[in-house]
Amino acid sequence: MATSSIAVRELPLFPLPEVVLFPGRPLPLHIFEFRYRIMMNTILEEDRRFGVLMVDPATGEIAKVGSCAEVVRCQRLPDDRLKILTIGQQRFRVLEYVREKPYRVGLVEWIEDVPTTQELRPLAKEVDRLLRDVVHLSAKLTAQKIELPDDLPSLPLELSYWVAGNLYGVAGEQQALLEMLDTVSRLQRESEILTSTRNHLAARTALKDALNQ
């Protein structure tokens, strides 16, 4: 287990069905439940941070590993509802729940990837290439303009978070990627996912081209 040297702290927790937040990724939220309006009003007066944990909708189980979210923008709506924009910060592991009401507060420890001496850039470049192949094939298949952002991360760790955060409909896979404490393993798994997706899209594109001839 790799943990940072920062001390354990208490953190308000926001469990969300099938939502996995990664460091550096944005997460907009509409806050309407009374208990979470209380939580937001509290943290907005403090350090504007809370923890996001994925809830498995099938079992109701709350993940033990999540990411801290920092509120960077807040809009108050009628009836005390709020629209907020958050950005993912450090990952954490819940050690225990301190209290459940009016909202969950956990004692958490920060976690980070284990340092490695392995050169990560070749693997990151491979993931980048596969990602661009998937985007190209998706655009061709749907006849839509799909582009990657100009600020796509180039550093291996940040790229691994970006790719994981942009997978859709696979919250369980995302949670597994979030819990990995090894950048190499995360990039390797993303390479496998992107390769499978690319091959699937390539087959569909070839079939579409054949039918259009």
Residues 191-208 pLDDT 10s: 999 999 999 999 988 887
Structure confidence at residue 210 (pLDDT): 73
Q: Give the residue from 154, 156, 153, 163 showing the smallest Cα distance to 182.
A: 156
Alpha helices in the chain (DSSP H): 34-44, 121-142, 156-165, 171-179, 183-212
Contact 2, 112 (CB under 8 A): yes
**pLDDT < 70 positions in the chain:** 1-6, 213
| pLDDT tens-digit map of 124-156 | 999 999 999 999 999 988 888 888 999 899 999
Amino acid identity at 71: V
Task: State residue 213's pLDDT score.
Answer: 62
The pLDDT value recorded for residue 3 is: 44
DSSP state of 146: -
- In 3D, which of 20, 120, 12, 27 has the Cα closest to residue 71? 27
Please state, in angstroms and rounded to a whole number, the distance separating the CA atoms of residues 69 and 29.
Answer: 11
- Classified as helix, coil or strand, 101 is coil
